[in-house]
């Protein structure tokens, strides 16, 4: 999505990106997953019921307050055992992923008018993003 997005827009974008529920990833990191989960619950929308929806570790520590019980209960990345190895190290660096998104955002003006099949991001020969 381009620019600021309402939480319902995030939901709609994810559903259009993954129209088949079985193709959803196991984990979707989003800075607003607390609001997304609250929205999904209010709408009684269970499309993402088998998807972990944590917040990026950095954002959780620096931007989400402890009194926010809903966020602490549903989006704290430490609650998802699958995100850490047996030594407690994160198996996925969500913070570096966020930084890559910022870097890619620097090319927004270049790719804004491209068609979906024109964009592919590869690192070391491995496709990271293909739209």
Residues 30 and 47 in one domain: yes
Residues 45 and 109 in one domain: no
Give the integer Cα–Cα distance in Å for 100 and 21.
27
Q: Is the pTM of this model over 0.75?
A: no
Task: Provide the domain limits for residue 103.
Answer: 93-131
pLDDT at 66: 67
Provide the token pair at 127. Answer: 């496709």
Residues 38 and 81 in one domain: yes
Residues 83 and 118 in one domain: no
pLDDT at 14: 92
Give the integer Cα–Cα distance in Å for 112 and 114.
6
CB contact at 8 A, 83 and 77: yes
> Looking at 13-17, 57-61, 63-67, 116-120, which range is the least confident one?
116-120
Give the integer Cα–Cα distance in Å for 91 and 99.
17
Q: Which residue has the higher pLDDT, 60 or 14?
A: 14
């Amino acid at each position: 999505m381009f620019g600021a997005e309402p939480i319902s827009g995030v939901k709609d974008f994810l559903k259009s990106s993954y129209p088949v529920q079985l193709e959803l990833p196991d984990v979707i990191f989003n800075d607003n997953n607390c609001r997304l989960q609250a929205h999904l619950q209010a709408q009684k929308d269970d499309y993402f019921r088998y998807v972990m929806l944590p917040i990026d570790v950095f954002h959780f520590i620096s931007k989400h307050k402890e009194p926010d019980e809903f966020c602490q209960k549903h989006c704290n990345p430490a609650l998802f055992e699958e995100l850490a190895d047996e030594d407690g190290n994160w198996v996925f660096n969500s913070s570096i992923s966020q930084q890559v998104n910022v870097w890619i955002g620097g090319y927004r003006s270049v790719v804004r008018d491209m068609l979906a099949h024109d964009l592919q991001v590869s690192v070391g020969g491995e496709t990271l993003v293909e739209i």
